[in-house]
Structure 1
Amino acid sequence: MSNDAGFINLEENIKSTIYEGLLKLGYQNNESFSIYYDLDLLNHLLLSSFDSNETCLNYLQEFKTFAEQDLLDIEISLERNRFKFSVNKDGIESIYKHENNPFLNDLIQTVNTHSFHLEDILAIFKRYSDEYICEEIDNDEFQYVLYFKDNKMDKFKYCFTFDEMGGYYHRLLDFSFNKILNE
C-alpha cells in the first residue's frame, strides 16, 4: 500500500528540517531530534488523504521501514493531536554528515546574527541564482517572502520579518505558506 513518492517527500522533508535545525542550533553528538507535523501537512507530503490521525499513524509504520533503508531509525507517535517524529542520534549523525546545502548554511549564518537586513538576504539569494523572487507581503507573521524560481535549487519559501529587535525568518513549504496566507 505504500506510496514511494510520498515517502520520499516526507523523508526529504524530515532530513531537510533536521539539517536546518542542526545549522541553527549546532550539532551535538549523541542527541536525538524531534519534529512535529499536523495531519494536513503529512497528507500533503505523503500525497494521501487520511481523515484520522490513527489511520495515518498506522500507515506511517510502513514509512518507518522505508526510512530504515537510509539508516533513519524514526519513532513516530501522536502528541497533542500532532505527529512527533523522533530521529535517534545515529540518524542525526548521518543527516549532519550527508546533507549539504551551502545556500541554507550561508543564510542561517547570517540570520543567526539577528542583525541582518533585507539587502543581506538578497545578496545571499543572488549569490546562488539571479532567478529568485522577493515580494513584500501584507501579513501579521512576516513582511517579505523570498524564494527561487527553480524549486530544484531550493523548494522552500523564506519569510522574513524585520523590527527593532532585528530580523527573523520562517522556512515554509508552499503548502504551509498558502495555509498561513489563507487563515
Structure 2
Amino acid sequence: MGYDKLEKNLIDIIKEEQAKLGFFKEDIRLYYPLSSLNHFFAANDTADEMQARLSTLPASLTDKLGDIMVSHKGDRFCFHIPPQGTVYVHDNTAENEFIKELVNLVGRHGCTMNEILDLFHTYSENIITEEMDNGEFDRLIRFADNPEDTYYYCFKDEGYHIIYHRFLPEDYTDFDF
C-alpha cells in the first residue's frame, strides 16, 4: 500500500510540474521529508531504515517511472526520476484539469480568492474551506468528497498575487497550522 501511495504522489507532483512549466523529457528531482515517507508506509522508520526500504522499489513503480535513485541527507530524501518518468506521466496519464486550471488562475495577475473558490466549486459543490491566521497562509480549501484529490490546498494572498501550496492531509496535520 505504501508504494502505491508513493507512486500516486510522485505522479501527482510530476503532473503539477508539467502544468506549471510544460512537458520536458528530463530528469527531475523531488524532495520529501522523512515524515511524509513514513506516512505513506504507516511506519516510524529512521532515515537509514527508510533508505533501506526504498533501496529496491517495486517493478510496478519502476516499469512506469524508470530506475529511480533515492538518496537522503539527514531526514531529507531525494527521488531522482529519469526522463522515462516524465515521459510516462505525459503520455500515459490523464491531465489533471483541476491543477492545470488552478495553476493558470493563480498565475494570472489580479486573481482573487473568490475566483479560486469558484474554480473549486466547478469540480465539486462539497468543499471545505477554513480561514487561517498562522502567518504562512490565509485560507485552506479542500474537496470533501473527491477520493482522487485528498490534498489540502493552502493559499496566501500577497496583495498583488495569490500563492498556494498543497499538502497531503497527514503532512498538514504535522504542521499543526
* Alignment TM-score, normalising by the size of structure 1: 0.89
Q: Does 2:36 align with 1:41?
A: yes
1:67-146 → structure 2 map (5 Å cutoff): 67-79=61-73, 81-99=75-93, 100-146=95-141
Shift in Å, 1:164: 2.0
**What SS is found at the alignment partner of 1:63?**
coil
Aligned equivalent of 1:166 = 161
Q: Which amino acid aligns with 2:62?
A: E
Q: Distance in 1 between matches of 2:161 and 2:65?
A: 39
Q: Which amino acid aligns with 1:46?
A: F
RMSD between aligned residues: 1.6
Structure 1 stretch 83-92 or stretch 19-28: which is displaced more? Answer: 19-28
Asked if the contact 2:138–2:155 (Cα under 8 Å) also holds between the matched residues in 1, the reply is: yes
Asked if the contact 2:131–2:138 (Cα under 8 Å) also holds between the matched residues in 1, the reply is: yes
Q: Distance in 2 between matches of 1:84 and 1:59?
A: 14
Q: Distance in 2 between matches of 1:35 and 1:44?
A: 17
Aligned equivalent of 2:54 = 60
Question: Aligned pairs, how many?
Answer: 176
Structure 1 stretch 72-81 or stretch 61-70: which is displaced more? Answer: 61-70
Asked if the contact 2:109–2:161 (Cα under 8 Å) also holds between the matched residues in 1, the reply is: yes
Shift in Å, 1:94: 0.8
Q: Distance in 2 between matches of 1:66 and 1:34?
A: 20
Aligned equivalent of 2:170 = 175
Aligned equivalent of 2:8 = 12
**What SS is found at the alignment partner of 1:83?**
strand
C-alpha change, 1:170 and 1:153, in structure 2 (3 Å) is same
Can you list the C-alpha shifts for 1:14-67, whole angstroms capped at 9, x where unaligned?
1111211121122223x11111111111000122221x2111111102325441
1:142-153 → structure 2 map (5 Å cutoff): 142-153=137-148
Q: Distance in 2 between matches of 1:114 and 1:64?
A: 43
Sequence identity, in percent?
Answer: 30
Shift in Å, 1:163: 2.1
In structure 2, list runs of 5 or more residues that go unmatched. Answer: none
Asked if the contact 1:64–1:74 (Cα under 8 Å) also holds between the matched residues in 2, the reply is: no
Q: Which amino acid aligns with 1:10?
A: L
Shift in Å, 1:153: 4.2
In structure 1, list runs of 5 or more residues that go unmatched. Answer: none
Shift in Å, 1:97: 2.2
